[in-house]
Each structure stands twice: as C-alpha cells, then as structure tokens.
Amino acid sequence: MSSASSYKKLKKLGKGSFGSVYLVQRSEGGEPLVMKEVSLRGLSRKDRQATINEVSILKKVVHPNVIAYRDSFSTIDMLCICMEHAPGGDLTALISSKRRSGERFAEGVVIKMAYELTSALAYFHHELHLLHRDLKPQNVFVASDGSMKLGDFGLSKQLAATNALAKTLCGTPLYMSPELCAGETYNRAADVWALGCVLFEVMGLQPPWQQYATQGINRLMQLIARTGTLDLRGCKAHYSASLCDYLEKLLAKRASQRPALATLLPLPLFAQPPHGWMISFHL
C-alpha cells in the first residue's frame, strides 16, 4: 500500500484548487507523476470519508484525452492523488506562446483540439454521468504527442462547492455561463459553455470577456448574465464557417439551446479521424 514515503518529490509545480501540486516519482523509479495534496482539514468525518471514497471514480476514468489516475493514499489531514504527467504543460501556456509569437493556431490544430476536448467531455457526461465543473485552459494539459488531456474535474460535491465559492470570491468568472452568473445551478450545459470559452480563447488568443476584465467580479457576472453573447467576429475573420458554427453552438446564450456533446462528434467538421491529422506541437 502506498504512503508518502513511496514517492520522492522532484519539484513543486504550483498550488491547485485544494492544495499543493508536485512532480513526483516512485522511490524505486518509474514514470514521473503529478501528485495533488488535497487538504481534508475542516471537513466533517462524513464528508472526509465521502471525499476519499470518491477517488474510486477517478479509477473508472479511462479515456485517451483525460489525465489518467495512477495511485492515491491518505494521511490524517491530507488526501494525496497521483495522476499522469503531461510534459507539455497546460493550454494556457500554449496560448500565451502563440500570442507572443504573433501567430494563430492553424485551423487543423483547432479542429483537433475541439474534437479531443469534446470527446473527453462527452465521455464524462454520457458514459460516467459526471460534470467537470472547472473547465478552463489551465485544466487542459498537453501530452508529449501534442494531444489534449482534460484534467482537474471536481473531485467531490463538498470540495467543488467550496472551490466554486472561492473562485467567485477570489477569481474572475470568465468561463462561467450566463445562467451560472445569474445564480442558477450547475449542469451539463454549463460545462458545454465552458468548452466553448476554451475554444474561443484558442481561436482568439484572448480570454472571453476580456473587454470587461477591469469591471470587478460582481459587475462582470452581471454583464455576462445580461449579455450572454460573446463577440465571434474575430474568430470568423480567421477560421472557417463550419468551425465558427461549431463554436456558436457551444456558446448559445440559452442553456437549453446548447447541444449534448455526444451528438456533435459525428459532425462533418470531424469527419477526418483524429489520428489522421498528424499534428504535433514539437514538445
């Protein structure tokens, strides 16, 4: 059975939603992994046990575009989860690199990203019956072959609720759907909107609602709830009508008008199989 002594910390990667994140390796060697330390402090005994039990969900997640579970163990006040390491970093860094170079992603690259992320999120929704709850470029990782890997989905209802409150109070809700900003509850359609926001940022190299970034969180949420429509003219100037139509479907203002992701995968936009695109980011 694994414990803290089973792993050697190679370096700290940062601070995640619920605790610190490290690059680690098993003491006897093997592939580098990402270990997330999730604090259990402040949780009731019932909620603490529910959180630990929900790691069993991670074990069921098997998809080529989702960060894979490797191991987990708990201490008195900490849950440690070891996941697959994606050496290419996150999508935020990839977008920043493109923005600095003054180049846009090629259409084929964007279509490949759209297919992989749609496939991963459809798997969550329709096969596992789970919500991601925190989809944004920082939670999309790049594998060594350039493929997208979805990670950091809400681990438990208790932790997700705490994290949602923290994000609302401390962060900018750029990827929150209009209905969430209006106070409605989270559902599949909110995940679909967030996917649209991620692709909007890939295509425009700027986060959504950038023009309102200085308005303050409460004002920004009010604007998103009332406006609910992102300006896609910049995307349409650089990408095909079929790709922009796809983006428009994801970003429908009304939640009821956003499609179930499983229905989108057979679209002609994705007619060429993903392995046929042969796209690499030269990591």
Q: Mind listing the pLDDT tens digit of every residue in the chain (283 residues)?
A: 788 789 999 999 887 656 789 999 998 888 999 998 888 888 788 877 777 777 888 888 899 999 999 999 888 888 899 999 999 999 999 999 999 999 999 999 999 999 999 999 999 999 988 888 889 999 999 999 999 999 876 554 444 444 444 444 334 588 999 999 998 888 899 999 999 999 999 999 999 998 887 888 888 889 899 988 999 999 999 999 999 999 999 999 999 999 999 999 999 999 865 545 444 444 3
At residue 162, the pLDDT reads: 44
Handedness of CA 125, 177, 257, 120 (dihedral sign): negative
Contact criterion met (CB below 8 Å) for 12 and 22: yes
> 177 vs 21, 71, 74, 195, 198, CA distance in Å?
28, 33, 35, 10, 12
At residue 100, the pLDDT reads: 95
Q: What is the pTM of this model?
A: 0.86
71 is catalytic: no
HSE-up of residue 105 (Cα within 13 Å, Cβ side): 28
Gap between the Cα atoms of 47 and 34, Å rounded: 24
At residue 238, the pLDDT reads: 96
CA triple 180-131-21, angle to 5 deg: 100
At residue 77, the pLDDT reads: 83
At residue 259, the pLDDT reads: 96
At residue 5, the pLDDT reads: 85
Q: What are the tokens at 156?
A: 């438990």
At residue 165, the pLDDT reads: 42
| Catalytic option among 134, 145, 191, 231 | 134
At residue 260, the pLDDT reads: 95
At residue 155, the pLDDT reads: 53
At residue 169, the pLDDT reads: 37
